[in-house]
Amino acid sequence: MNTAQKSEAIELLKNKFSQYSNFYVTNTESLTVEQISQLRRTCFEKGVEMKVAKNTMIKKALESFNDEKYAGIYDALHGVTALMFSDSPKEPAVILSDFRGAKGEKPALKAALIGEDVFFGDNQLTALKNIKTKNELIGEVIGLLQSPIRRVIAALQNQEAKGGADAATEEVAPEAPTAAPEAPEADAPAAE
Per-residue pLDDT, 182: 58
Quote the CA–CA distance of 129 and 114 in Å, as a whole number: 12
CB 50 within 8 A of CB 43: yes
For the chain, the first-to-last Cα distance in angstroms comes to 138
Identity of the amino acid at 182: E
Quote the CA–CA distance of 29 and 95 in Å, as a whole number: 17
Which residues have C-beta within 8 Å of that of residue 88, sequence separation ≥ 6?
22, 47, 48, 133
Per-residue pLDDT, 180: 54
CB 31 within 8 A of CB 107: yes
Quote the CA–CA distance of 158 and 162 in Å, as a whole number: 6
Per-residue pLDDT, 176: 53
Contacts 24+ apart (CB under 8 A), 164-169: none
Per-residue pLDDT, 192: 47
pLDDT tens-digit profile, the chain (192 residues) = 788 888 899 999 999 999 998 899 999 888 889 989 999 999 999 999 999 999 999 999 998 888 888 888 888 898 889 999 999 888 999 999 888 875 667 888 999 998 888 888 888 887 888 777 777 777 778 877 877 888 888 888 888 877 665 555 555 555 555 555 555 555 555 554
Cβ-count burial of 11 within 10 angstroms (0-12 exposed, 13-18 middle, 19+ buried)?
exposed
Protein fold of 3-131: Alpha-Beta Plaits (3.30.70)
CB 128 within 8 A of CB 114: yes
Domain locations in the chain? Answer: 3-131, 132-170
Identity of the amino acid at 92: P
Quote the CA–CA distance of 38 and 129 in Å, as a whole number: 20
* CA–CA distances in Å: residue 177 to residues 40, 59, 168: 86, 97, 20
- Sort strands 81-86 and 49-52 into parallel, antiparallel or unpaired: antiparallel
What is the pTM assigned to this prediction?
0.67
